[in-house]
C-alpha cells in the first residue's frame, strides 16, 4: 500500500551531481570547521605570545653576572684584636668587608691595566653587589682560617652591572641612570672581555630568600617556594580526605532529599565564590578568631583548603558517578556491604578521576594570590621557615604573591625577577599537570 504522505517517486538524480541542499550542508560544515580551527589558532597564538613575553623577560633571571677576583682578607680589618675569635670578629660590620672588596677590585683593575675614563670610587663600590660583602663576612666568620690570606673569591655584581652583561642596561641608559654611569659600563665591558666578570646559572634565584629593594640581584624564590610547598602539603593532607569522604557520602550513601539538594547546590556555589572572599574568611576566622599568626603557611593552607574543597568534591563526585552501576550491583550481589562495595570496587575505579581533580585543584591553589595577600603573606620575609610542623607557623611567602610583590618594586631588575618567578610557577603547574596526565594513564581501566 502506498503511503500518501510520501512524495510521489522522486525524480531519480545522478549521484555524480550534488544537489543544492547537500552543497549547502557541506558548505556549512566546512565553515564550522574553519571557525573551530580559527578558534584554536587564536587560543594557541595567545598562549604563544604569553609564553614568548614571559620567557623573553624572565629567562635572564636564571643567569647572574659574577666577578671572580683575588681578595686579601686583611687581618687588621676583620680581626683588629688578632685572636681569631669568631665572637669578637662578629663585631666587625659588613661595611669593613666592603672596603676589602673595593680594594681588591681596584687592585685587579690596576693589575689588568684597565683604563676607564672618569671612573670614581662610587663606580667601584657600586660595581659589586651589597650582598657580596655580607657573603664574604659570613664565609670568614665560618672559617677564621681565611683571615690574612688571599683568596680567589667569586661574588655577585650589582644588578646594574648584571643588566649590562645581559643587555638590559646599555651605555645610553647608563648615562641617564643615577645609580650607574658610563664609566661603570665601560669597566664592566672591560672586565667581561678579560673574563673577570662572567654570567653563570643563578641557583640563588631559586634557593635564596627575597632581597631588599636595593639588592634585586640577591633576591630569590627560596622562601616563596617553601611557603607554597607547605601550603600545598596542608591542602593535600586536609582537602583530599575531607573532599573524598564528603563526595562518597553524598554520592553513595546520602538519601536524596531537600537537605542533600541544598548541600549539593551550595557546594557548586562554593566553587564559584571569588577567592578573595575566602581570604577575608581566613582573616576573620583563623587569624582574628583562632589567633593563628599572620603570614603563616598554616593559615594560607587552611584558606586554600577551603577554596580547593569544592573543586575536589565536584571532581570526585563526577569520577564516582562515572563508575558503572553494574559494578556496584555485582559487588552487592555477592553480598558485599555498601562500604565494601565503595572501598573495594568503586573508589579504585574512580581513583584516576579523583587524583586528576585533586592535582588540578592543587594547581589552582598554587596560583592563588588574592586570599594570601589578605592574610598577610605579602610581607617581606628574608628567613626560611623551619621544617614542618613548626615551620607551618613561621612567616613565609608564596610564589604568586612573590611575583606580585616584585612587580610592585621600582627597580627594573625586579621586573626580570618577577618574570623569572612566573617561569618557575609555570614549571610547577606544568609538572603538576603532567603528573595528573601520568596518573590518569597509569590508572586508566576499561570495563
Contacting positions for another protein (CB under 8 A):
255-256, 324, 326-337, 340, 344-345, 349, 445-447
- Gyration radius (Cα) of the chain, Å: 32
Which is closer to another protein, CB of 432 or CB of 439? 439
Which is closer to another protein, CB of 233 or CB of 349? 349
Which is closer to another protein, CB of 6 or CB of 334? 334
Q: Are 413 and 329 in contact (CB under 8 A)?
A: no
The nearest distance, CB 441 to another protein, in angstroms, is 16
Which is closer to another protein, CB of 36 or CB of 324? 324
The nearest distance, CB 25 to another protein, in angstroms, is 37
The single-letter DSSP state of residue 287 is I
The nearest distance, CB 327 to another protein, in angstroms, is 6
Question: Considering only CA atoms, which of 132, 115, 127 is closest in space to residue 188?
Answer: 127
The nearest distance, CB 329 to another protein, in angstroms, is 6
Distance of CA 322 to CAs 243, 349, 353, Å? 17, 9, 9
Residue 221 CA neighbour count, 13 Å, CB half: 28
The single-letter DSSP state of residue 128 is B
The nearest distance, CB 325 to another protein, in angstroms, is 9
C-alpha cell at 329: 550491583
The nearest distance, CB 423 to another protein, in angstroms, is 41
Which is closer to another protein, CB of 106 or CB of 340? 340
Which is closer to another protein, CB of 35 or CB of 253? 253
Q: What is the DSSP string of 65-104?
A: EEEEEEEE--HHHH-TTSS--HHHHTTS-HHHHHHHHHHH
The nearest distance, CB 245 to another protein, in angstroms, is 21
Could you report how far apart the first and last alpha carbons of the chain are, in Å?
Answer: 48
The nearest distance, CB 342 to another protein, in angstroms, is 12
Cα gap 103→101, rounded to integer Å: 5
Instruction: Say which residues have a Cβ less than 8 Å from residue 12's Cβ, sequence separation at least 6.
Output: none
Which is closer to another protein, CB of 69 or CB of 331? 331
Residue with cell 688571599: 150
Which is closer to another protein, CB of 53 or CB of 337? 337
Which is closer to another protein, CB of 189 or CB of 336? 336
Question: Considering only CA atoms, which of 366, 345, 419 is closest in space to residue 235?
Answer: 366
Residue with cell 571532581: 315
The nearest distance, CB 365 to another protein, in angstroms, is 32
The nearest distance, CB 352 to another protein, in angstroms, is 12
C-alpha cell at 30: 566546512
Question: Where does 249-296 have alpha helices with state H?
Answer: 258-272, 275-282
Which is closer to another protein, CB of 14 or CB of 257? 257
Cα gap 372→159, rounded to integer Å: 29
Cα gap 406→418, rounded to integer Å: 6
Cα gap 380→425, rounded to integer Å: 19
Amino acid at each position: 500500500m502506498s503511503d500518501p504522505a510520501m512524495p510521489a517517486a522522486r525524480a531519480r538524480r545522478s549521484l555524480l551531481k550534488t544537489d543544492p541542499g547537500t552543497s549547502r550542508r557541506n558548505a556549512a560544515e566546512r565553515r564550522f570547521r574553519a571557525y573551530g580551527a580559527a578558534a584554536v589558532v587564536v587560543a594557541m597564538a595567545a598562549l604563544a605570545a604569553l609564553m614568548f613575553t614571559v620567557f623573553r623577560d624572565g629567562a635572564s633571571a636564571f643567569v647572574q653576572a659574577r666577578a671572580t677576583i683575588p681578595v686579601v682578607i686583611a687581618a687588621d680589618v676583620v680581626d683588629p684584636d688578632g685572636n681569631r675569635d669568631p665572637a669578637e670578629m662578629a663585631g666587625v660590620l659588613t661595611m669593613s668587608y666592603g672596603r676589602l672588596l673595593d680594594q681588591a677590585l681596584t687592585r685587579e683593575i690596576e693589575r689588568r691595566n684597565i683604563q676607564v675614563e672618569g671612573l670614581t670610587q662610587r663606580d667601584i663600590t657600586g660595581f659589586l653587589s651589597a650582598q657580596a660583602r655580607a657573603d664574604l663576612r659570613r664565609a670568614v666568620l665560618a672559617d677564621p682560617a681565611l683571615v690574612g690570606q688571599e683568596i680567589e673569591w667569586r661574588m655577585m655584581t650589582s644588578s646594574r652591572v648584571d643588566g649590562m652583561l645581559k643587555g638590559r642596561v646599555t651605555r645610553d641608559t647608563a648615562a641617564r641612570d643615577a645609580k650607574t654611569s658610563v664609566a661603570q659600563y665601560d669597566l664592566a665591558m672591560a672586565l667581561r672581555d678579560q673574563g673577570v666578570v662572567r654570567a653563570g646559572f643563578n641557583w640563588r634565584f631559586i634557593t635564596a630568600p627575597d632581597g631588599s629593594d636595593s639588592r634585586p640581584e640577591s633576591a630569590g624564590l627560596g622562601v616563596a617556594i617553601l611557603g607554597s610547598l607547605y601550603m600545598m602539603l596542608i591542602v593535600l593532607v586536609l582537602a583530599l580526605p575531607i573532599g573524598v569522604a564528603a563526595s562518597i557520602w553524598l554520592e553513595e550513601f546520602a538519601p536524596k532529599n531537600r537537605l542533600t539538594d541544598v548541600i549539593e547546590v551550595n557546594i557548586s556555589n562554593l566553587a564559584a565564590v571569588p577567592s578573595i572572599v575566602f581570604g577575608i574568611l581566613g582573616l576573620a576566622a583563623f587569624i582574628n578568631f583562632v589567633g593563628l599568626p599572620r603570614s603563616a603557611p598554616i593559615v594560607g593552607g587552611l584558606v586554600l583548603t577551603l577554596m580547593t574543597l569544592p573543586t575536589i568534591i565536584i571532581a570526585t563526585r563526577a569520577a564516582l558517578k562515572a563508575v558503572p552501576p553494574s559494578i556496584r550491583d555485582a559487588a552487592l550481589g555477592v553480598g558485599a556491604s555498601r562500604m565494601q562495595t565503595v572501598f573495594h570496587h568503586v573508589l579504585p575505579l574512580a581513583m584516576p578521576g579523583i587524583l586528576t581533580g585533586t592535582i588540578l585543584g592543587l594547581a589552582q591553589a598554587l596560583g592563588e594570590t588574592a586570599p594570601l595577600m589578605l592574610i598577610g603573606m605579602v610581607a617581606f620575609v628574608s628567613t626560611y621557615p623551619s621544617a614542618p610542623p613548626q615551620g607551618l607557623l613561621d612567616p613565609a611567602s608564596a610564589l604568586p604573591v612573590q611575583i606580585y610583590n616584585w612587580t610592585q618594586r621600582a627597580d627594573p631588575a625586579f621586573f626580570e625577577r618577577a618574570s623569572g618567578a612566573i617561569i618557575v610557577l609555570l614549571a610547577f603547574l606544568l609538572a603538576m599537570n603532567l603528573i595528573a596526565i601520568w596518573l590518569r594513564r597509569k590508572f586508566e581501566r576499561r570495563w
